[in-house]
A and B are shown apart, each in its own frame.
Chain A
Amino acid sequence: MAEEVSKTTEQYDYEKQKNKEEMKQQVISFALMIIFTIIAFGMVISDLNSLFVIPVILVLAAVQIGFQLYYFMHMSHKGHEMPALMFYGGVFTAFLTILALCALVWW
């Protein structure tokens, strides 16, 4: 670990450059999120058929979550295998839970 501490300037610049590029991606995904949000609100306001709107806004939400997880929270980076496993474990349980409680209403 100690060797990481003393960095060469090239390395430093390289990392800085990389961080910057990554930041660019973050901003783009943010912009997309804003757009998705606006689309979702817009669709709801414009009185479309709710059978159509509901699935679409749910998908939009899911995509936004993807952005959050993979760009903002860096889940695609190395060293995130375990976090991803446990997080998706949670998502799986979450899915079952929601399904069960919704099913309560249909039956």
Chain B
Amino acid sequence: MSDQDILNPKHMPHNPEKATLEGKNKFIGFWFFLGGETVLFASLFGTYLALRNSVNDGKSSEELFGLGLVFIMTMLLLTSSLTSVYAMYHMKNNDFKKMQLWLGITVALGLGFLACEIYEFYHYIHGYHFTMRSSAFGSAFYTLVGFHGGHVVFGLLWIVSLMIRNAKRGLNLYNAPKYYIASLYWHFIDVVWVFIFTVVYLMGVL
């Protein structure tokens, strides 16, 4: 397949993200990467679980967490997962405009999530003087949730730069895999969050 074919938006097969060898490589490689990420987050979760009662006279999880905000955050992120599925749906139908639109919605929801998280941290630090240095629990909490937050930030940057870069030239076999793995990444962020709200927040107030 020549370069022209790859960059030409007209030639779109059914699974554009896996039509070229480069695309296949990216797709498989990214899944492998997610396998590694699973271990990464598991290490953080494990550390958190080991230290979640080590509050050392500081604030404990029961005193800190409020479920309302967490519920809103969860809804935002879950919904953004669905919207990115919509984006991929339109990618498969070769409808670039709609894909960009749904990705835009995804980004907006992600930003909403991030805003809540920043508010939450701000609240803990200034309202409760609960920081990374308060106790081992504090260190573990901020590190786990912060790592996830960092992933959200990176994911948003990634999707946004893809959207801007390709706004003019539409979908092609060169960038379809990029879009696809960005959306995989976004789902993975959601996967991690499901465990965070369960293990950190829900189990934290029990």
Contacts and interface: CB of A to CB of B under 8 A. Distances in A.
Given A26-B85, A68-B81, A90-B35, A73 B184 contact: yes
B93 interface: yes
Nearest to A87: B35
Interface string A1-26: 11011010000000110010011001
Given A4-B13, A45-B67, A98-B49, A86 B92 contact: no
Contacts of B79: 30
Interface in B74-121: 74-75, 78-79, 81-82, 85-86, 89, 92-93
Contacts of B199: 58, 61
Contact of A90 (B27, B39, B47, B198): B39
Contacts of B78: 30, 33-34, 37
A49 B105 CA distance: 39
Interface residues of A, number: 54
A5 B39 contact: no
Bin chain B's interface residue count: 35 or more
A61 B198 contact: yes
B205 A101 contact: no
A28 B89 CA distance: 15
B75 A44 contact: no
B89 A64 contact: no
Contact of A58 (B28, B32, B191, B198): B198
A53 B93 contact: no
Chain A interface mostly helix, strand, loop or mixed? helix
A72 B187 contact: yes
Contacts of A15: 14, 92
Contact of B38 (A33, A64, A90): A90
Interface of B: 1, 5, 11-14, 18-20, 27-28, 31-32, 34-39, 41-43, 45-47, 49-50, 53, 67, 71, 74-75, 78-79, 81-82, 85-86, 89, 92-93, 184, 187-188, 190-191, 194-195, 197-199, 202-203, 205-206
9 contacts: A16-B93, A26-B85, A57-B203, A61-B194, A61-B198, A65-B191, A73-B187, A93-B42, A105-B50
Interface of A: 1-2, 4-5, 7, 15-16, 19, 22-23, 26-27, 30, 33-34, 37, 40-41, 44-45, 50, 53-54, 57-58, 60-61, 64-65, 68-69, 71-73, 79-80, 82-83, 86-91, 93-95, 97-98, 100-102, 104-105
Given A72-B85, A95-B42, 17 more contacts: A4-B19, A5-B5, A23-B85, A26-B82, A30-B79, A33-B78, A34-B78, A40-B197, A65-B194, A68-B187, A68-B194, A69-B191, A79-B18, A83-B32, A86-B35, A98-B49, A102-B50
